[in-house]
Amino acid sequence: MRIEFQLERRIGALSENPSGYTKELNVVVWDGKYTKYDLRTWNPNGKPGKGITLTKEELKKLHKLIGEEICQMGGRNNE
């Protein structure tokens, strides 16, 4: 079974490894009917790797949870 996808909009890359694979947040249409926010790796040829898809509501909840976590860290990035 082949899954079809169309990259509708690139939101941004989070990282890139030395092999050229990127971890990105994008808007992707899966199988021509499911538009999702998509967080996953992409190879240099544009093929998707493992990742997760999120609805708009899930993305909003994730944003809230990340904001709460950053507050717990004292509002700073603990690198």
Asked if 42 contacts 49 with a C-beta cutoff of 8 angstroms, the reply is yes
For the cut 70, the answer to whether the pLDDT of residue 2 exceeds it is yes
Instruction: List the structure tokens of 68.
Output: 């709460």
Please state the domain extents for the chain. Answer: 5-72
Q: What is the pLDDT of residues 21-64, one digit of tens each?
A: 999 999 999 999 999 999 999 999 989 999 999 999 999 999 99
Cβ count near 39 (within 10 Å) = 17
pTM: 0.82
pLDDT at 78: 54
Pick the CATH number of 5-72 from 3.40.50.2300, 2.30.31.70, 2.30.40.10, 3.40.640.10: 2.30.31.70
pLDDT at 67: 94
